[in-house]
Amino acid sequence: MEKDTKEKFLKTICNNFLNLQDTDNYFRFPSYDFLIQKITSLDKNIFRIEKLGKSVELRDIYGIKFGKGPIKIMAWSQMHGDEPTATRAILDFFYFIQNHPEEFDDLINYISQKCTILFVPMVNPDGAEHHTRENAWDIDLNRDALRLTAPESKILKMVFDDFQPEYSLNMHNQSKYYGCESTGEHVELSFLATAPDKERSLTVSRKRAISLINKIVEKINALENQHIPMGKYDDKFEPRAFGDNFQAENSGLVLIESGYVPGDENEEKLRKLNFLSLIITCLYTDDLDYKKKDLQKYNELPAISEFYFDVIVRNATLNQDGKQFIADLGIKRELVWQGKSKYYYFGFISELGDLSTLKGFDEIDATNCIIKPVNTYNKSVQNIDEVKSLNYKELHKKGIASVKMDRLSLTKESTSMPLNILPIHEDWSPEKLSPATFLIEDSISGETKFIIVNGVYFPVNP
């Protein structure tokens, strides 16, 4: 296929992704049952579906093949059960292949003739079901490549050995708190051409991986017509990791990590970027040609590290045991699961002290301001609707940001409100700043400037 034709197809896909994606695939954390429903509904004339084995808790793990071309590509997701974004992108890929508009026939035929792609979505179905990184035995599968203790690890290794892919995509999610060290930006996608040995040798397979990463980065930036913050992991050799071992076995392994897009709680943009990465891989692995400049280009990707908070309050005055001191407060919001499909947020002060070298997605200058506990509303409420009816802006002006409710149920909604909801029997302790709920008061005028409620900040307008 000509270069211009590939570019045209990619641009059309990018611009029309909302119409090409699987609209059933809307939940940020797809369940195992949902995955099985989607796999079993695939057209057997298009996809070859195989049960590869069972997890610790006896959930089936599937392999799905598409295409009959000479270039073998293997992609897997959710080795860590609580990292679901790439699984959604893989389901979108299946949907696109099976339900694409007629205008994409030539593209699908080209991919089918050039590539054989083996997907193993949700390698760790038990972890996915319980929303844990580890499997049901509390084993991190990505540190089990040598011993192969877990059945899921054995399955992944067996499939790789049988398939012998030329390229491998190891798809994960990373902490939202990673940023690009050189630019200070948040990270939306991170990559790594894993090292095959302690010397970090530049083998033929690793060169292939580097060339593919460069192509994905180049095309995504061009397609989105804007700068997408992307970075790379440190390539220190980890002998227990599957990626490093598969690289050593001559598969051009690319680690793809989904990061964070501020304001995109359901990770729709990351889902799209993963889908585009899959399409780009299928389209361009037939003409990748490693050159010396590829290594330079790859090395120009900024290194990443964890230096973000959800909120940083800078230069605030705090009281402790009758003494005052000035410090920065770094606040994070943790997702806490209740059962299989319900979760809530818990905001907490993650770090206190000098955070001058770190960043917040939101930042507050609290110079000449003092941290104080919030006040509690003088009437109890019965339900969430009653909380919603309160004029929280007026309450915030009075330093009120806490309300008591009978039969409190912690939900995503109740923990994202501008008022901290307490059980009716619980008294708010002035010494307690966690969950991260407090007010920031001007130490001169006595006016409340900001309110923090469960890790979310609200300006208080006079």
Q: What percent of the chain has pLDDT over 70?
A: 97
pLDDT at 432: 52
For residue 342, what are the contacts with CB-CB under 8 A and spacing of at least 6? 411, 412
Domains and CATH numbers, the chain: 3-306 (3.40.630.10), 309-459 (2.30.40.10)
CA distance 37 to 45: 17
Which phi and psi (to 5°) does residue 368 adopt? 65, 25
Q: Give yes or no for residue 431 having a pLDDT over 80.
A: no
- Contact between 346 and 334 under an 8 Å Cβ cutoff? The reply is yes
Average pLDDT on 434-459 reads 92
CA distance 46 to 411: 41
Least confident of 24-28, 272-276, 349-353, 421-425: 421-425
CA distance 13 to 8: 9
CA distance 417 to 387: 9
Q: Give yes or no for residue 382 having a pLDDT over 50.
A: yes
- Contact between 246 and 255 under an 8 Å Cβ cutoff? The reply is no
Average pLDDT on 255-278 reads 96
pLDDT at 433: 58
pLDDT in tens, 310-353: 999 999 999 988 899 999 999 999 999 988 888 889 999 999 99
Strand bridging mode 230-232 / 178-180? unpaired
> What pLDDT band is residue 248 in, cutting at 50, 70 and 90?
very high
Structure tokens belonging to residue 330: 């770094």
- Contact between 180 and 229 under an 8 Å Cβ cutoff? The reply is yes
> What pLDDT band is residue 360 in, cutting at 50, 70 and 90?
very high
Average pLDDT on 425-445 reads 75
Give the Cβ contact number of residue 249 at 10 Å.
Answer: 15
pLDDT at 367: 98
pLDDT at 24: 87
Place of tokens 């760790």: 124
> What pLDDT band is residue 276 in, cutting at 50, 70 and 90?
very high
pLDDT at 225: 77
CA-closest candidate to residue 449, choices 351, 305, 314: 314
- Contact between 129 and 337 under an 8 Å Cβ cutoff? The reply is no
What angle is formed at CA 73 by the lines to CA 215 and CA 54, rounded to 5 degrees? 135
> What pLDDT band is residue 430 in, cutting at 50, 70 and 90?
very low
- Contact between 197 and 188 under an 8 Å Cβ cutoff? The reply is no
- Contact between 405 and 383 under an 8 Å Cβ cutoff? The reply is yes
Q: What percent of the chain has pLDDT over 90?
A: 82
Place of tokens 């006595």: 446
Q: Give yes or no for residue 117 having a pLDDT over 60.
A: yes
pLDDT at 205: 97
CA distance 315 to 364: 9
Average pLDDT on 297-312 reads 97
The identity of residue 180, as a single letter, is: C
pLDDT at 370: 97
More confident site: 125 or 430: 125
Q: What is the overall mean pLDDT for the chain?
A: 94
Which residues are tagged catalytic?
A: 238
Q: What is the pTM of this model?
A: 0.94
Least confident of 30-39, 272-281, 430-439: 430-439
Average pLDDT on 140-165 reads 99
CA atoms within 13 A on the CB side of 380: 12
- Contact between 28 and 72 under an 8 Å Cβ cutoff? The reply is no
Q: Give yes or no for residue 428 having a pLDDT over 60.
A: no
Distances (CA, A) of 458 to 53, 92, 125, 316, 401: 50, 37, 39, 16, 10
Place of tokens 């309160």: 390
Distances (CA, A) of 33 to 29, 128, 199, 433: 12, 11, 43, 40
E strand or H helix at 230: strand 230-232
